[in-house]
Amino acid sequence: MNVTVELMTRAGCHACAAAEQHLRTVLADYGIEPSIIDVDAAAEAGEVFPRAEYGDRVPVIVLDGEEHSYWEVDEPRLRADLDTRR
């Protein structure tokens, strides 16, 4: 399965930590490892887009380059979308 899953997050965000744990649990069933992107660290490195686009809504899950959900993992929808990509 050639799927990319990114989690937009920031340091000190409790909702982000919970979403990461939940996301990792779901993705383990598919053999997928998410990329974790700290929007503030990306901005400090010169990448304006992640913080400008997602900074007010973290955590945000991005599936194959498209925003999938934010503030929490929409597990039923995520599983359905991953199943269609199998």
Looking at the structure of the chain, the number of domains it has is 1
What pLDDT, in 10s, does the model give residues 27-65?
Answer: 999 999 999 999 999 999 998 888 899 989 999 999 999
Stretch 23-30: mean pLDDT: 98
Nearest to 38 by CA among 12, 66, 2, 18: 12
Where in the sequence is the domain holding 44, given as residue range(s)? 5-84
CATH (domain of 34): 3.40.30.10
Contacts of 55 (CB under 8 A, 6+ apart): 10, 39, 40, 43
The span from the CA of 22 to the CA of 2, in Å, is 21
The pTM score is: 0.94
Q: Give dist(CA 39, CA 59) in Å, integer.
A: 10
